[in-house]
Amino acid sequence: MIVKRGIAVSHGVAIGPALVLGTESFQIPSRFVRVNAVESEIVRFRCALENVCREISTNEQLASQQIGEKYGAIFGAHLQLARDPKLIGEVESLIRTRHYSPEFAASQVLRRYAKELQNLGNHYFAERAADLFDLERSMLRHLLGEQREEVANLAEDVVVLAHDLTPSETATLDRKHVRGFVTEVGGSTSHTAILAGAFEIPAVVGVGHFLADVSGGDIVIIDGNHGEIVIAPDDETLERYRDSAERSRSLAQRLLSRGSRISKTKDRVRIEVFGNIEFPEEAEHCLERGADGIGLYRTEFLYLTTFSQRSEDDHYRAYRQVVETMGDRPVVIRTLDLGADKIPGAAVRAYKQRGNPELGLRSIRLSLDNLSLFKTQLRAVLRAATTGDVRVMFPMISSLMELRQAKMILRDVTEDLEDEGVDYRGDLPVGIMVEVPAVAMMAEEFAREVDFFSIGTNDLIQYTLAADRSDPAVAKYYNAADPAILRIVRRIVQAAVQADLPVTVCGQMSSDPKFVPLLVGMGLRQLSTTPLAIPEVKEVVRSLTIPQAEEILGRALEFELARDVEVFLRGELKKICPDLVE
């Protein structure tokens, strides 16, 4: 049994067999195949093997003719390995009995032998191990061709373990069968973490190197409450976690049954709780949990499941689905926040080459740099707005000039639609994400030019504390409880309240129940959280009074260290809602 620690990013406990995504030069596609596909997968394996052998023979001949037989013999040894009946038998048996894909089975068998040879500690054997890795690479190349990772069609429930999951990979995971995931890298509000919330599965990120300790099929426990993973647990540990998973399930069930009640504090002040979504289907989940609307629709996720451009109609259909689901409840559609760690699959390489992507051409900057992309989206938003309470929001605004440009483009698009005689709604409320410290400092000026603020604490924290939200190496510097964050959020809320401007917090901070009294104490009367957190946040609201929340805020502001703020807030939550604190 091996226990590892990482950053808990999505609550709950998941237990299941491991599906290890490869980290080497090839990404191994689905580790499992459907039972009825076993025979055809074996045929695929044999064909690939035949091609590998043919390629090695050609190389053998070429080398023999051109540089001498001695060199050709090197390939002869490879050929012997590739034709070894024991190796082939083991691979085929894994495909047949465990329903491993040929790629996974071949990789498992070849790596096991390679590791055994390496462990013999002798130079000669180490070289033979290198031959096996070589053979693995050619096998995978022939099996995969140009194919990309395919984790969209799994045959059984698994927990996914990977070095990293790009948002596009995460978005294409087969949601029916993925019970949780763990990555070696990633930070607490990376977009992969946000997607775990969208999938409503437990997740731990930033664990550091651990993939060498686990084989596909090993039982793994993911504790998304405490940021722990247990590989090959003993029976007692397994039992303990099963109990804890059961307790979390029944608490969630209890809260869900009270979810539809209106969230008012004990002294009857209404606090609206909205949901954050990435995919249109999630709107339904928000409704089931009693959401008062959609406070943040991260539209860029429309791009992350595909490599291709999206048309105006693609946008329109997605938005319509959300608007129709929500009826007359408000839906805040945020324009594309592409860039940084939210990059469409096809563009990953181009973006990764840029240094400092979080400070680069991302979000509204990218939209203003690519007007046809921006206008296509805005047209769809205005068209979808005809039937519901749609509001449009610009992300990562950093200056008034930028806001005015974005609003000007919105006006241009409105005029175009008018000229074309297309059905649209032009008087939508326009808001901004307040997530760059410069905007917090200029909040009074911004308040005069927009209809609402939505505080994006995920980015606001990273830009205020200079700590990359996706990098586990600086996770300890990234903390919503930092006194500087409390002050900057309070400053924005005060500016909004003075200007009589609606303001909400849509960053992860508002999904964490311990921050809810503090935020209400600041004057927030709207919060936007992950769908899963809606019932918990409503429960905290219903257990509070406004004077109590204000007192909690006052006392929290007296601390100088994030650690002390956290301990204090957890203690207060325990008094208010003991069930929510383990």
Question: In this structure, are residues 496 and 455 in contact, taking their beta carbons and an 8 Å threshold?
Answer: no
Q: Residues 429-458 vs ligand PEP: string with x where CB under 6 A? A: ------x--------------------xxx
Catalytic residue among 78, 163, 191, 315: 191
- Asked if residue 459 binds Mg ion (CB under 5 A), the reply is yes
Q: Report the Cα–Cα distance between both ends of the chain, in Å, rounded.
A: 24
Per CB under 5 A, which of residues 380..439 are in contact with Mg ion?
A: 435
Task: CB nearer to ligand PEP: give 33 or 381.
Answer: 381
Per CB under 6 A, which of residues 161..180 are in contact with ligand PEP?
A: none
Q: Which two tokens stand for residue 360?
A: 């680069």
- Asked if residue 468 binds Mg ion (CB under 5 A), the reply is no
Task: CB nearer to Mg ion: give 365 or 570.
Answer: 365
Task: CB nearer to ligand PEP: give 107 or 166.
Answer: 166
- Asked if residue 506 binds ligand PEP (CB under 6 A), the reply is yes
* Closest CB 303 distance from Mg ion, rounded Å: 16
Q: Among Mg ion, ligand PEP, none, what binds residue 528 when CB lies within 5 to 8 Å by partner kind? A: none
The stretch among 28-36, 137-145, 449-457, 573-581 that binds Mg ion (CB under 5 A) is 449-457
Question: In this structure, are residues 161 and 214 in contact, taking their beta carbons and an 8 Å threshold?
Answer: yes
Catalytic residue among 163, 177, 285, 506: 506
Distance between CA atoms of residues 560 and 94, nearest Å: 57
Distance between CA atoms of residues 283 and 23, nearest Å: 34
Distance between CA atoms of residues 290 and 531, nearest Å: 9
Distance between CA atoms of residues 124 and 143, nearest Å: 29
Question: In this structure, are residues 290 and 538 in contact, taking their beta carbons and an 8 Å threshold?
Answer: yes
- Asked if residue 192 binds ligand PEP (CB under 6 A), the reply is no
Question: Can you tell me whether residue 561 is helix, strand or coil?
Answer: coil
Q: Is 163 a catalytic residue?
A: no
Q: Which of 282, 337, 341, 468 binds ligand PEP (CB under 6 A)?
A: 337
Q: Which two tokens stand for residue 526?
A: 């709207």
Task: CB nearer to ligand PEP: give 221 or 434.
Answer: 434
Would you put residue 581 in left (φ > 0), alpha (ψ -120 to 50) or beta?
beta
Distance between CA atoms of residues 205 and 404, nearest Å: 38
Distance between CA atoms of residues 566 and 513, nearest Å: 12
* Closest CB 506 distance from ligand PEP, rounded Å: 5
Q: Among ligand PEP, Mg ion, none, what binds residue 470 when CB lies within 5 to 8 Å by partner kind? A: none
Q: Which of 272, 459, 468, 482 binds ligand PEP (CB under 6 A)?
A: 459
Task: CB nearer to ligand PEP: give 402 or 459.
Answer: 459
Question: In this structure, are residues 272 and 527 in contact, taking their beta carbons and an 8 Å threshold?
Answer: yes
Task: CB nearer to ligand PEP: give 341 or 539.
Answer: 341
Q: Which of 456, 472, 513, 517 binds Mg ion (CB under 5 A)?
A: 456
Task: CB nearer to Mg ion: give 52 or 488.
Answer: 488
The stretch among 143-151, 158-166, 454-462, 469-477 that binds Mg ion (CB under 5 A) is 454-462
Task: CB nearer to Mg ion: give 273 or 436.
Answer: 436
- Asked if residue 507 binds ligand PEP (CB under 6 A), the reply is yes
Q: Which two tokens stand for residue 205?
A: 């990120």
Question: In this structure, are residues 532 and 225 in contact, taking their beta carbons and an 8 Å threshold?
Answer: no
Amino acid at 54: R
- Asked if residue 339 binds ligand PEP (CB under 6 A), the reply is no
Task: CB nearer to ligand PEP: give 45 or 478.
Answer: 478
Q: Among ligand PEP, Mg ion, none, what binds residue 367 when CB lies within 5 to 8 Å by partner kind? A: none
* Closest CB 190 distance from ligand PEP, rounded Å: 9
* Closest CB 232 distance from Mg ion, rounded Å: 38
Q: Which two tokens stand for residue 492?
A: 């924005």
DSSP string, 348-392: HHHHHTSS-GGGSS-HHHHHHH-HHHHHHHHHHHHHHGGGSEEEE
How many chain residues touch Mg ion (CB under 5 A)?
3
* Closest CB 452 distance from Mg ion, rounded Å: 16
Task: CB nearer to Mg ion: give 117 or 496.
Answer: 496
Question: In this structure, are residues 260 and 290 in contact, taking their beta carbons and an 8 Å threshold?
Answer: yes
* Closest CB 78 distance from ligand PEP, rounded Å: 49
Contacts of 243 (CB under 8 A, 6+ apart): none
Residue with tokens 């793994």: 220
Q: Which two tokens stand for residue 516?
A: 């809810």
Q: Among ligand PEP, Mg ion, none, what binds residue 436 when CB lies within 5 to 8 Å by partner kind? A: none
Chain centroid, CA 139 distance in Å: 31
Per CB under 6 A, which of residues 522..551 are in contact with ligand PEP?
A: none
Q: What is the strand order of the sheet 228-231 is part of?
A: 2-5, 228-231, 219-223, 13-20, 158-162, 178-183, 203-205, 7-10
Contacts of 447 (CB under 8 A, 6+ apart): 453, 495, 496, 498, 499, 501
DSSP string, 139-201: HHHHHHTT-----S--SS-EEEEES---HHHHHHS-TTTEEEEEESS--TTSHHHHHHHHHT-
* Closest CB 550 distance from ligand PEP, rounded Å: 24
Q: Is 506 a catalytic residue?
A: yes
Q: Among Mg ion, ligand PEP, none, what binds residue 41 when CB lies within 5 to 8 Å by partner kind? A: none
Q: Among ligand PEP, Mg ion, none, what binds residue 506 when CB lies within 5 to 8 Å by partner kind? A: ligand PEP
Per CB under 6 A, which of residues 282..301 are in contact with ligand PEP?
A: 296, 298
Task: Characterize the bridge pairing of strands 13-20 and 219-223.
Answer: antiparallel
How many chain residues touch ligand PEP (CB under 6 A)?
12
- Binding footprint of Mg ion on the chain (CB under 5 A): 435, 456, 459
Binding site for ligand PEP (CB under 6 A): 189, 194, 296, 298, 337, 435, 456-459, 506-507
Active site residues: 191, 506
